[in-house]
Amino acid sequence: MADAAAILAGDEGIESVSHDGLKFWQFMVAGSIAGSVEHMAMFPIDTLKTRMQVLASGCGGSVGQALRSVVKVEGALGLYRGIGAMGLGAGPAHAVYFSVYERCKSLLGGNLPGHHPFAHAVAGVAATVASDAVFTPMDVVKQRLQLKSSPYRGVVDCISRIMREEGLKGFYASYKTTVVMNAPFTAVHFTTYEAAKRALMEVSPGGVSEERLLVHVTAGVAAGALAGVVTTPLDVVKTRLQCQ
């Protein structure tokens, strides 16, 4: 990880200031924490999504039905089955994701005055390709543990059985689909986010920190919603590949 960071940092080094006053290594730490918190907080919803996307999941056709099905049979803890795999993968993957994004955006001129959708989109795609290579193996483990009547006893058992029965390729069966899905997701997400943020900042008093936070949150919600609508069909394909 340190070698990769040094290469990405280039001649400026890890101590260089990249954006918003943060140094390169600080983006890695901030990205890791942000990604881990995000995934942990949303894990119950992710469990419901996974079960609804798999034909043989035994869940109902709505979020409410899926929630009642899981809680009734497995209890509330059933919503958190596989969270250990998420914890192992989310931190490193998001450290790579945010640091690569910021570095590529800077190299492509995305931090210069004005709107640069191409730089934001390309940086997002590069970050996705890199982070998915780190996260996909643990995502496979996570989703197999999330299934109803999963045959695995836990994270370690799942990893060892996949390696023994399917080999390393079992962890990357969905990598191509994941990249094909996440690349447009990230391109749409970051382009929309940066555009919405700039538009909102123009009508928001810059000196008020609460409103600046609201701007970031609003832009993030708009970007995530649009990107999710665009890529959900491929997400279903990815889930079924990982759980077959």
Which residue's structure tokens are 């890791």? Answer: 32
The boundaries of the domain holding residue 28 are: 2-41+81-172
Residue 184 lies in a domain: no
Six-digit token string for 120: 């934001």
pLDDT of residue 6: 37
**Span 36-59, pLDDT tens digits:** 888 889 999 999 988 888 855 455
Residue 15 lies in a domain: yes
Q: How far apart are CA 79 and CA 69, in angstroms?
A: 11
Is 140 among the domain residues?
yes
Q: Report the mean per-residue pLDDT for the chain.
A: 79
CA distance 77 to 54: 20
CA distances from 79 to 20, 148, 203 (A): 37, 10, 41
What CA–CA distance (Å, rounded) separates 223 from 221?
Answer: 5
Determine the Cα–Cα distance for residues 159 and 134; give it in Å rounded to an integer.
Answer: 15
Residues 93-108: tens digit of each pLDDT:
988 888 888 888 888 9
CA atoms within 13 A on the CB side of 123: 24
Q: 193: closest CA among 183, 185, 181?
A: 185
- What three-state secondary structure class fits 175? helix
pTM of full prediction above 0.75:
no
DSSP conformation letters of 45-104? HHHHHHHHHSGGG---SSHHHHHHHHHHHH-GGGGGTTHHHHHHHHHHHHHHHHHHHHHH
Tokens (6 digits) for 167 = 């080999």
Q: Looking at residue 24, what DSSP letter applies? A: H
Task: Give, in order, the Cα–Cα distances in Å from 114 to each of 68, 98, 167, 195, 226.
Answer: 49, 21, 48, 10, 23
| 53, part of any domain | no
Per-residue pLDDT, 22: 63
176-202 residue pLDDT tens: 888 888 888 877 777 787 778 777 777
Two structure tokens written together for 114: 């004005």
Domain assignment present for residue 142? The answer is yes
Provide the β-strand partners of residue 17.
23
Pairing between strand 17-19 and 22-23? Answer: antiparallel
Helix (H, G, I), strand (E, B) or coil at 173: coil
Number of domains within the chain? 1
From 98, 125, 133, select the one nearest 8 (Cα to Cα).
98
Classify residue 67: in a domain, yes or no: no
Judge whether 168 lies within some domain: yes
